[in-house]
């Protein structure tokens, strides 16, 4: 009967946030090993993403070390200047 009274009524956003925060703290306190594993996996994922992006940027995205004048002199029918 009590659940029928709450149909159509929503909790305020702050009350939902406090309930979620309380549940999160309870879960962390109850299972600290799981929390440590999750935190380490998140750190490993962020580190891997950073390393891969650094390699991709260094190899593919960084501009090549020549100016436009050197690039314009290379092509079919043009001779390279030494």
pLDDT tens digits, one per residue of 42-69 = 999 999 999 999 999 888 877 767 666 5
What letter does residue 74 receive in the DSSP assignment? -
Q: What is the pTM of this model?
A: 0.52
Domain segments of the chain as ranges: 2-64
Q: What's the CA gap between 40 and 38, in Å, rounded?
A: 5
Buried b (16+ CB within 10 A) or exposed e, 36-68: eeeeeeeeeeeeeeeeeeeeeeeeeeeeeeeee
Q: Is the pLDDT of residue 3 over 60?
A: no
**Maximum Cα–Cα distance across the chain:** 91
What is the pLDDT confidence band of residue 11, given thresholds at 50, 70 and 90?
confident
Choice between 53 and 77, residue whose per-residue pLDDT is larger? 53
pLDDT in tens, 13-33: 888 999 999 998 998 899 989
């Amino acid at each position: 009967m009590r659940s029928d009274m709450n149909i159509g009524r929503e909790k305020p956003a702050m009350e939902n946030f406090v309930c979620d925060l309380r549940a999160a703290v309870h879960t962390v306190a109850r299972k600290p090993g799981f929390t440590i594993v999750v935190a380490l996996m998140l750190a490993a994922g962020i580190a891997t993403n950073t390393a891969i992006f650094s390699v991709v940027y260094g190899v593919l995205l960084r501009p090549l070390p020549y100016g436009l004048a050197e690039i314009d002199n290379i092509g079919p029918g043009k001779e390279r200047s030494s």
